[in-house]
Structure 1
C-alpha cells in the first residue's frame, strides 16, 4: 500500500495504518477517503497530498 505526504507540512498518511482516531481504518486507500479530508497536522485539503514511495 502507498503513503501520501502533505506538501505543506510533511504529514504522512500511510494506507497500511489508516487514521483510526479519525475513523479511517487501516488498509483504506487514499483514493477512498472523503474529499472533505483535511490534514490532521495543518488542515489543508486532500489535494495538497502527493504519493510518496
Structure 2
C-alpha cells in the first residue's frame, strides 16, 4: 500500500483510492501522479507530500 501525506494539512493520498477531485485514477502510483498535482484539501504542491 502506497500512501503519501501532505505535510501542510495532513491529507492522505492513497494509491488504491486515487484522487477523484484531481482526476487521478485509483491504482496510480505516486511516481505517476502529475508533477503539477495539488493537494485537494489545501492546494499545496506535490513536493509537500511525504511518505506516511
- Asked if Structure 1 and Structure 2 have the same fold, meaning a TM-score greater than 0.5 normalized by the shorter chain, the answer is yes
- TM-score normalised according to structure 2 size: 0.91
1:1-53 residue CA offsets vs partner (Å, 9 max, x unmatched): 2100000000000001101342111110011011000000000100000011x
- TM-score normalised according to structure 1 size: 0.89
**Alignment length (residue pairs):** 52
Provide runs of 4+ in structure 1 moved above 3 Å: none
Unaligned runs of 5+ in 2: none
Backbone CA RMSD of aligned residues: 0.9
Unaligned runs of 5+ in 1: none
